[in-house]
Amino acid sequence: MSRLNRLLLCTLLGTGILMIGCHNRPKTPILLYPANGKVDVAINPVLGLQATARSLTYHLQLAADSTFTEPVYDQAGITNTSLMITGLSYSTRYYWRVNAENEFGTSPWSKVFQFTTKGTDPWAIKEPMPTPRSDLAAGVVNNKIYCIGGARWRLGTGESEYLTTVEEYDPITDLWVKKAGMRVKRAGLAAGVVNNKIYCIGGRNEQGELATVEEYDPVNDRWSPKKGMPTPRAYLAAGVVNSKIYCIGGGMVEEYDPVNDRWSTKASFPDPHRFHPVIGVVDNRIYCLWGEVWMYEVDADTWVRKYYFAPGPNNPAVGTVDNRIYVIGGWAGLAGGSIDIVYEYDPALDSTGSFRRKER
């Protein structure tokens, strides 16, 4: 039977004819998230609905008015049951609805859901760093951030200019101050803070990978040379536990004791091929996150495999807040490119739920 004939049957009410075509249209969609009436929703929310029987595509409308006279988003032909909407405004109430379509017709619109976006923009542009650069290190002392070293890449040539530059940023006043530079220019170095002094370790320059260690005293704005790292390395990671700095990278772990200016070799990292290791410190344990999660027990000098982290982005940033480690951004290879995803790792869970994707 043709679609036209089916539709004609639907109009013959009261004739006793079986209304076959009416029952082949999709059912009305059911909206799932954000929950109706939810507040503090991100300005790039993901909207989701329950899969509707007999539907081929969906039509979604989103507007700042409940009558949908001027939709800010109006898209038909959607095949997924979840969709990210970008570029919404802060402190705004939005309404959204969905219907379903197939070759026999269109369902009624769903119940209208509403949500309100977050009140203020959590990001604020601050005073730019005076010296543009990459591959630098940073340390925090007395609520000020010290940006150290790095490289400045020349456009068009790919050549790099390695720097000794040190600039202090005060988040309260939003001001930058130039400080005494390092003795050795380098990029890809690691930094650790012990007793309000910053220790800059390793890195590279035109001479190759370095073992150089320098101590910076922010109070006196003075640099002092220290005993070099046993293994020259660049793009390593450093974690501080019990006033000692653990330098991890290239499969090696070396411990630096700033008080005695002494180095010790520790248990090797199980995966020697990792580049740009990503670490966080929780409860005096060091967690290395990239592809897998390995925990380093400092007192026992042993590595324990904790969890397989499937996404495994390269070169992300990492921060630790309230005993949880946040892995931010990175590079997902040639296919994925640069990413904006944020993952939260909770070492206390130590299960498949220990990694959670967060809102951007």
Q: Which of 277, 298, 319 is where one domain is finished?
A: 277
The answer, as to whether pTM is greater than 0.85, is no
Q: Does residue 222 belong to any structural domain of this protein?
A: yes
Same domain, 191 and 262: yes
Q: Coil, helix or strand for 316?
A: coil
Same domain, 73 and 154: no
| 360 residues of the chain, pLDDT tens digit each | 444 444 444 444 444 444 444 558 999 999 999 999 999 998 999 999 999 888 999 999 999 999 999 999 999 999 999 999 998 999 999 999 999 999 999 999 999 999 999 888 767 788 999 999 999 999 999 999 999 999 998 777 777 899 999 999 999 999 999 999 999 999 999 999 999 999 999 999 999 999 999 999 999 999 999 999 999 999 999 999 999 999 998 889 999 999 999 999 999 988 766 667 888 999 999 998 867 788 999 999 999 988 766 455 677 788 888 898 888 877 766 666 677 778 888 888 865 556 666 655
Same domain, 110 and 144: no
Closest of 3, 50, 6, 4 to residue 28, by C-alpha: 50
- Kindly give, in sequence order, each residue whose CB lies less than 8 Å from that of residue 205, ignoring residues fewer than 6 positions away: 162, 184, 185, 186, 187
Same domain, 146 and 249: yes
Same domain, 264 and 196: yes
Quickly count: other Cβ atoms within 10 Å of residue 8's Cβ.
Answer: 13
Q: What is the DSSP string of 36-97?
A: TTEEEE-SSPEEEEEPPTT-SEEEEEEESSTT-SSEEEEEEEE-SSEEE---PPTT-EEEEE
Print the domain residue range for 59. Answer: 22-117
Same domain, 91 and 217: no
**Which pair of tokens denotes residue 343?**
């993952």
- β-bridge mates for residue 319, sequence order: 326
Q: Count of domains in the chain?
A: 2
Task: Please count the CA atoms within 13 angstroms of the CA of 336 that sit on its side-chain side.
Answer: 13
Same domain, 167 and 241: yes
Quickly count: other Cβ atoms within 10 Å of residue 132's Cβ.
Answer: 9
Q: What is the DSSP string of 136-194?
A: -EEEEETTEEEEE--EEEPTTT--EEE---EEEEETTTTEEEEEPPPSS--BS-EEEEE
Specify the pLDDT at position 273: 62
Q: Are 249 and 277 in contact (CB under 8 A)?
A: yes
Q: Does residue 166 belong to any structural domain of this protein?
A: yes
Same domain, 177 and 264: yes
Same domain, 258 and 174: yes
**Which pair of tokens denotes residue 68?**
């949908």
**Which pair of tokens denotes residue 63?**
């507007």
Same domain, 220 and 162: yes
Q: Which of 87, 117, 147 is where one domain is finished?
A: 117
**Which pair of tokens denotes residue 52?**
């509707």
Q: Which of 117, 145, 180 is where one domain is finished?
A: 117
Closest of 222, 220, 232, 238 to residue 276, by C-alpha: 238
User: In this structure, what CATH number is given to the domain that contains residue 96?
Assistant: 2.60.40.10
Q: Does residue 62 belong to any structural domain of this protein?
A: yes
Specify the pLDDT at position 7: 42
Quickly count: other Cβ atoms within 10 Å of residue 150's Cβ.
Answer: 26
Same domain, 28 and 93: yes
Q: Does residue 339 belong to any structural domain of this protein?
A: no
